[in-house]
Amino acid sequence: MEDRIKDILLPKCGKENYEKLKALNNAKLNAFVAKYVELCDPASVFVRTDSEKDAEYIRNRSITNGEEQCLAIEGHTAHFDGYFDQGRDKANTKYLLRPDQILGSDISSAARDEGLKDAHDILKGIMSGKEMYVAFFCLGPTNSEFSIPTVQITDSSYVSHSEDILYRSGYEEFKRSGDSGKFFRFVHSAGELENGVSRNVDKRRVYIDLEKEMVFSTNTQYAGNTVGLKKLSMRLAIKRASEEGWLTEHMFIMGVYGPGKKRITYFTGSFPSACGKTATAMLEGEKIIGDDIAYLREKKGKIHAVNVERGIFGIIQDVNDANDPAIYGALTSPGEVIFSNVLVTAEKKPRWIEDGLEEPMEGINFSGKWFKGEKGPDDKEVLLAHKNARYTIRIKSLGNCDENLDNPEGVEIKGVIYGGRDSDTNVPVEQSFDWAHGILTQAATIESETTAATLGQEGVRKFNLMANLDFLSVPIGRYIQNNLDIVEDVNKPPLIFHVNYFLRGKDGKYLNGIKDKHVWVKWMERRVHGEIEAIKTPTGYYPKYEDLVPIFKEILGKDYTGDEYEEQFMLRIPERIAKKERIKKIYHTKVFDTPHVLMKALNDQVARLEECRKKYGDYVSPFVLEKDVS
């Protein structure tokens, strides 16, 4: 190792940790670590390999330094973020771009030189008196063409512990990579702590340097801002995928059993936060590979996908034994789980909103000591747990984990599901005419109400193409074209579906039951295999009533009525046209590189809707549409 780098690292690392770095024989890696050891000036450096001993050291440090506390059930811990550090900080998350780089008006950015100076100024001496953790992980299965080695530098044992649960160990992956500089880099510091949480949130920064495939995160602890391998690495991977001809998507991967469990069909699905994504991926009786991020590649004329992660960082609100038995079972059994921003009772039990139990009257939460009716520093009533409270758990802890979780080849994808939050427009489930139609009129037009997962106002319906807008690191038009192009050499592309679990009736009540999504997924599985027909409408294919009736009976034991079907699958032409016009305006005014095929697809759909309206009026029953086709 170069003498100067050795002089920086050895005193901070000590001989054992220094030898761990030296063994990787990667000069670029060592130079990177040395640079930030010198800048951040920690009291000591711990290097995490793939060993259980190293993982245990970090888990124990999280307890001893107060970033986590032990709960009553063995292996369970709780972590609190600061009161004003409870979600992704979109305002201070920026791409660092050169003057000649343009991503688009909806993608937040800053001048690269200025951003790097700001990050380095904040990081200078920020770890004084603390321990730095240098940890190696792998995005995607190890020893695979999907693999991306990563290194995380942080002064938060909670962040490093979270990543150990969420990601595959990558020390040996670095060894396989040799002296390559093609790895993702992450530098994080929680900054000065007060009562165990980041004090200087006014200096919260999340900067993404696409040129160096590197992320800086400062003065924050919330995992969405700090766990570099999650949405932060996703931004880096979207750019790399765009350059190399594959896709990085905000998608779950699940296996759905066919009739009689004689086959299993793999789907990916992309939903904005709090739109039913994890609940779909975790449907009882089906299989899960991943709930959040997927890499997709064309392999031998088929689309294959892997889960980037091996764990789940899931929203815990509404998780209970009735709605999510697989997750709830894992969260109430011994095993390694981190609960963040829940309530901890005097009995050291975690509680959260709508957990199915009697609501407690007091405890400890992200605001400190809590009691019912308490007001926070912003004078708002504090709920027993935050709406964005989370759980961090390994997928293998779940009884429905699919055996292909770590398959280096991934799984063949035969269906893709897009979803959003919509009270008055889209039907519960709909199939596109073909791949291009699905990408252009369904995936690229997703709208959703904002939720507590992002800082800011809730309840505002926002455009969010592919549920990925917040994370794009390439221009929107290019990203859409990448999605169109990936099936260029695919003989039979996956079918594309759109779902909406939030449609309301005239009385304002939801038309979908909480578990109805299972029926829609089973219908999709049969459509993939061509076992049932569908109704062709101006916007796509709708299920036939006669096909849904037996699925409702089989899956939910429910008698599904024609009245329910008619209200759910009514073609709402005014709302459909209004949506398309909203979307067209966004692409006209905010996207500088909108593909021509997108506008044509939207215009064609509006024309079909207008033609249907002339024949049948504004609101058309699916039974009428079925007769029209026949």
Give the three-state DSSP class for 522. Answer: helix
User: pLDDT per residue over 69-78, tens digit each?
Assistant: 999 999 999 9
Which two structure tokens, joined as six digits, stand for 439?
A: 């990408």
In this prediction, residues 440-462 reach a mean pLDDT of: 74
344 neighbors 332 (Cβ within 8 angstroms): no
Quick check: 106 pLDDT over 70? no
Buried b (16+ CB within 10 A) or exposed e, 97-122: beeeeebbeebebbebeebbebbeeb
Sign of CA dihedral 281, 553, 527, 499: negative
* Average pLDDT for the chain: 93
pLDDT of residue 630: 47
In this prediction, residues 88-96 reach a mean pLDDT of: 90
Quick check: 458 pLDDT over 70? no
Min mean pLDDT across 118-122, 412-416, 422-426 is at 422-426
Which two structure tokens, joined as six digits, stand for 166?
A: 């969420």
- In degrees rounded to 5, what are phi and psi of residue 601? -65, -40
pLDDT of residue 500: 96
How far is it, in rounded angstroms, from Cα 595 to Cα 476?
A: 9
The model's confidence at residue 459, banded by pLDDT at 50, 70 and 90, is low
pTM of the model: 0.93
Class of domain 249-309+405-629: alpha beta
- Annotated catalytic sites, by residue? 275
Look up residue 454 and give its DSSP letter. Answer: B
**Distances 246 to 146, 158, 182 between C-alpha atoms, Å:** 10, 32, 17
The dihedral formed by the CA atoms of 153, 169, 276 and 280, expressed in degrees to the nearest 10: 170
Instruction: Let me know how long the chain is.
Output: 630
pLDDT of residue 457: 59
pLDDT of residue 59: 97
In this prediction, residues 571-583 reach a mean pLDDT of: 96
User: pLDDT per residue over 50-69, tens digit each?
Assistant: 999 999 999 999 999 999 99
Give the three-state DSSP class for 197. Answer: strand
Quick check: 36 pLDDT over 90? yes
Which segments of the chain belong to CATH 3.90.228.20? 249-309+405-629
User: pLDDT per residue over 336-383, tens digit each?
Assistant: 999 999 999 999 999 999 999 999 999 999 999 999 999 999 999 999
Check residues 438 and 372 and name the one with the higher pLDDT. 438
Cα within 13 Å of Cα(529), Cβ side: 16
Quick check: 116 pLDDT over 70? yes
pLDDT of residue 178: 82
- In degrees rounded to 5, what are phi and psi of residue 168? -75, 140
Contacts of 144 (CB under 8 A, 6+ apart): 306, 408, 409, 410
In this prediction, residues 455-472 reach a mean pLDDT of: 79
Contacts of 122 (CB under 8 A, 6+ apart): 191, 203, 205, 218, 219
How far is it, in rounded angstroms, from Cα 501 to Cα 522?
A: 15
Which segments of the chain belong to CATH 3.40.449.10? 3-65+89-244
In this prediction, residues 222-226 reach a mean pLDDT of: 91
Quick check: 103 pLDDT over 80? no
Quick check: 105 pLDDT over 80? no
Write down the CATH number for the domain with range 313-397: 2.170.8
Min mean pLDDT across 168-182, 483-497, 558-572 is at 168-182
Quick check: 450 pLDDT over 80? no
Which segments of the chain belong to CATH 2.170.8? 313-397
Q: How many CB atoms lie within 10 A of CB 343?
A: 27
User: pLDDT per residue over 494-516, tens digit each?
Assistant: 999 999 999 999 898 999 998 99
Fold of 3-65+89-244: Phosphoenolpyruvate Carboxykinase; domain 1 (3.40.449)
Regarding beta strands 44-48 and 131-139, do their DSSP bridges make them parallel or antiparallel, or are they unpaired? parallel
Cα within 13 Å of Cα(523), Cβ side: 29
In this prediction, residues 393-418 reach a mean pLDDT of: 96
**How much of the chain exceeds pLDDT 70, in percent?**
97
Which two structure tokens, joined as six digits, stand for 425?
A: 């427009």
User: pLDDT per residue over 147-186, tens digit each?
Assistant: 999 999 999 999 999 999 999 999 999 999 888 889 999 9
